[in-house]
Amino acid sequence: MRELELDPQPSAALDAIWNRNPRLAEQLEVALDWIESDPVDPRARRRRFSNGMWVIGIVAAGEDWTLVWDEEESGSPIVRLIVETTSI
């Protein structure tokens, strides 16, 4: 299994969400598990930007968030952004 990496922004965002809304953080962790365990899982690849990055929408605890990820040349998945959907 390839190890999932997080850029600094999504790592900090996830930490802040754990402190503020653990239920939402748990749902984000589920999506991260999809990517880490099987990057070709259809749940992790429903939507794609034209630049090749994948987008996962998460709605939990009354909030709507977006997780953006792609794969490095080595094939390892890396999360580039975790942001409230209304912010993009």
Query: In the predicted model, what is the mean pLDDT of the chain?
Result: 90
Look up the CATH number of domain 5-87.
Answer: 3.30.2310.20
Mean pLDDT (whole number) for 41-59:
88
What's the pTM value of the predicted model, to 2 decimals? 0.86
77, 3 contact by CB (below 8 A): no
Instruction: List the domain boundaries for the chain.
Output: 5-87
Regarding predicted confidence, which is higher, 73 or 55? 55
Q: pLDDT band for 53, please (50, 70, 90 cuts).
A: very high
